[in-house]
A and B are shown apart, each in its own frame.
Chain A
Amino acid sequence: MLSVSNLHATVDEKEILKGLSLEVPAGEVHAIMGPNGAGKSTLSYVLTGRSGYEVTAGSATLDGEDLLALEPNERAAKGVFLSFQYPLEIPGVPALTFIRTALNAQRKARGEAEITAPEFLKLARQKAGELKIDFEMLKRALNVGFSGGEKKRMEILQMAMLSPRFLILDETDSGLDIDALRIVADGVNALRSPDRGMLVITHYQRLLDYIKPDRVHVLSAGRIVASGGPELALELEREGYDKYARAAA
């Protein structure tokens, strides 16, 4: 599914990713953990094509297709979804309008017909219900005046509605209390399927109690320095990132 090889990327001419390689097969959930400044968010932005993040070497493909050559919206239409660490506020645009516009833009890019209004509303009601989001909230401007937890739930709602093939969760647990964390994790777990891949970027092991990863990778100083099973996350929780930070240095 996702295949990243020897990826180098710079931000403001400073190299942040220094030869990162990673394979996430379909049906698996991989966690990326690492200290601050390791390049975790940079990885998520490079994979989704944010401007200002320049790839200087290496490749990233999704099912063999070169991602790096595509515009951000083209990657989205191919099924790449990023749940933002800090979701943006979109004043004056109701959440429903935003999601419907996005869904139809993706469908159009894939040569599919637009979703009808009744179909869309039915889907929105169902998914909002599953995430315990008050439907009335979807009529408000997206994320404007929403709490941190509500914003994260909105990200998961968008994810559920857009039904992407490859999911990147960037620090989804930050700012969530335990109840919200459980709801969000349930939403994410509901999307696990044999043909989907998932990359969960997190600082703390806590999230991985709820979203069980198949593999855990340690990202330090722009490279994957260790990989293992779920037990690696527990080890990191106990012992910290020190030894990997030294290894990378």
Chain B
Amino acid sequence: MAAVKQTVEHVASLEKYKHGFVTDIEQDFAPKGLNADTVRFISAKKNEPEWMLQWRLEAFERWLALDEPDWAKVSFPPIDYQDSYYYAAPKEKTGPKSLDEVDPDLLETYKKLGIPLREQEVLAGVVGAPKYAVDAVFDSVSVVTTFKKELAQVGVIFCSMSEAIREYPELVKQYLGTVVPVSDNYFACLNAAVFSDGSFVYVPPGVRCPMELSTYFRINAENSGQFERTLIIADKGAYVSYLEGCTAPMRDENQLHAAVVELVVLDDAEIKYSTVQNWYPGDPETGKGGIYNFVTKRADCRGDRSKVSWTQVETGSSITWKYPSCVLRGEGSSGEFYSIAITNGRQQADTGTKMIHLGANTRSRIISKGISAGRSSNTYRGLVSAHPKAKGARNFTQCDSLLIGKHCAAHTVPYIEARNGQSKFEHEATTTRLSEDQLFYAMQRGLTQEEAVQLLVNGFVKDVLQELPMEFAVEAQKLVAISLEGSVG
């Protein structure tokens, strides 16, 4: 495996994480530590109504009674929840009226990340290029949301969660916490108490959202966690495609990212949710630093014939603990999960999905591609279950693992529970090592070793890449190449 070893070494030598810069910006912090006053501080900072504060306080009380989960195949030193900031926001005297009033350093940050915050920047592109609206969340606060007016014309609400709580309290009250209940799990409960911001989307009945919506999350401040909360509602017959991107500076300490995403899908509606997660993975040699990505994502297919598709490209984070799931409640509803999870260096990932079939004739499809390199560990954990009423439920699962080098690990932990006799579940799994033979074959045809690894890996993840919205698939492909240069190849 000499060639593979060289690749791994070469990858390790590359400058792997290009988003590792820190923006020097004046920030407001909540006092370090976590108690009921922290929760009140956050709520007050955001001018929230009383009902929201009560909701948070109740979550905090419940969180105190919960224990951190330990069943995932990841290991890390105990987290001191009192040694972190739960609220950090770019300092501003009053809310900016327009982008011209936003701190130029902040704008520069997003420029470096290549994220268009000005609508004209998006429009200035090639004629006919697809538009996409952006909500940018910097540490705890949404900085700007673009294309709101254009979206409002068709009745689509796209704004920060804070704004939604103030402007659309009825919608928020109706749906918040109905997909991921407050005390669903330890990290979701913590999020409910201290969540800072996030995106809110409502697509009214029969409306096909005219552009891609996207949110870019950036953790910048030191010693701070990020707890964003996203709620997307597709009303009857609506359609929306949403993309989330994440980056963070390189820091020596671990930072906690405990987000919650709730999707509500009514009759005949469809949500396509894509994630390109590129949090700082920590130092590849020592494993020092990096983001703990402990995220709860769930979709509730409430309506008949509703549909949800999760696509994720997970390349970053020191530890990933995440299972974007679908509750298939509506009759004939369907859920899809397409995942590429790449671990390199000392990264650990325990990720997968849950497809919970409650309604009759519900369908689900899972395609998971795990790639492990370096000294990393990559686990697929998935649940497919059929309720007694879910007659005619169908699932197809394919889990493929690719190993690069000799010191990495891949695990597959599927749980399958059929509680009626009329369900059909299929599960296929493969584990392969990137073979020296294949590498040599490609190199004999003229590819450099690096090009050969990229080509083979892109072949491996192709089924998932093609599920991403076109304009992000290229970005994801590059990201896969970069992560593999540093980890797989």
B447 in the interface (beta carbon within 8 A) = yes
Give the distance to chain B from A71, nearest Cβ to Cβ, in Å: 7
Whether B460 pairs with A105 at a CB distance below 8 angstroms is: no
Which among B438, B447, B461 has the highest number of chain A CB atoms within 10 Å? B447
Whether B443 pairs with A98 at a CB distance below 8 angstroms is: no
Give the distance to chain B from A12, nearest Cβ to Cβ, in Å: 13
Among A64-122, those with CB < 8 Å from B are 71-73, 75-77, 81-82, 84, 87-93, 97-99, 101-103, 105-106, 109
Inter-chain contacts of A73 with B (CB < 8 A): 443-444, 446-449, 452
Whether A158 pairs with B440 at a CB distance below 8 angstroms is: no
Cα distance A176–B455 when bound, in Å? 29
Whether B441 pairs with A88 at a CB distance below 8 angstroms is: yes
A162 in the interface (beta carbon within 8 A) = yes
Inter-chain contacts of A98 with B (CB < 8 A): 442, 445, 455
Partner of B444, one of A76, A92, A103, A109: A76
Partner of B443, one of A52, A76, A89, A99: A76
Whether B436 pairs with A93 at a CB distance below 8 angstroms is: no
A48 in the interface (beta carbon within 8 A) = yes
A interface bracket (residues with beta carbon within 8 Å of B): 20 to 34
Whether B446 pairs with A103 at a CB distance below 8 angstroms is: yes
Give the distance to chain B from A149, nearest Cβ to Cβ, in Å: 18
- The closest CB in chain A to the CB of B1 belongs to A51
Inter-chain contacts of A72 with B (CB < 8 A): 440, 443-444
Cα distance A101–B443 when bound, in Å? 11
A50 in the interface (beta carbon within 8 A) = yes
- The closest CB in chain B to the CB of A108 belongs to B446
Whether A101 pairs with B444 at a CB distance below 8 angstroms is: no
Inter-chain contacts of B436 with A (CB < 8 A): 51-52
Whether B442 pairs with A102 at a CB distance below 8 angstroms is: yes
Inter-chain contacts of B461 with A (CB < 8 A): 92
Among A22-80, those with CB < 8 Å from B are 48, 50-52, 71-73, 75-77
B456 in the interface (beta carbon within 8 A) = yes
Q: A71-B443, A101-B455, A102-B442 known; A92 and B448 CB under 8 Å? A: no
Whether B444 pairs with A82 at a CB distance below 8 angstroms is: yes
Inter-chain contacts of B440 with A (CB < 8 A): 50-51, 72
Whether B446 pairs with A90 at a CB distance below 8 angstroms is: no
Give the distance to chain B from A77, nearest Cβ to Cβ, in Å: 6
Partner of A76, one of B446, B449, B456, B459: B446
Give the distance to chain A from B465, nearest Cβ to Cβ, in Å: 9
- The closest CB in chain B to the CB of A50 belongs to B440
Cα distance A77–B461 when bound, in Å? 28
Whether A48 pairs with B441 at a CB distance below 8 angstroms is: no
Cα distance A88–B442 when bound, in Å? 9
Cα distance A71–B452 when bound, in Å? 13
Inter-chain contacts of B422 with A (CB < 8 A): none
Indicate with 1 or 0, residue by residue over A124-151, a CB within 8 angstroms of chain B CB atoms: 0000000000000000010000000000
Whether B437 pairs with A105 at a CB distance below 8 angstroms is: no
Q: A51-B436, A51-B440 known; A109 and B446 CB under 8 Å? A: yes
Q: A92-B462, A93-B456, A101-B451 known; A87 and B446 CB under 8 Å? A: no
8 smallest beta-carbon distances between A and B, as pairs: A92-B459, A102-B445, A93-B459, A106-B446, A76-B446, A92-B462, A88-B441, A72-B443
Interface residues of B (CB under 8 A from A): 2-3, 435-438, 440-449, 451-452, 455-456, 458-463
Q: List 11 A-B contacts (CB under 8 A).
A: A51-B2, A71-B449, A72-B443, A73-B448, A87-B441, A88-B437, A89-B438, A90-B455, A101-B447, A101-B451, A106-B445
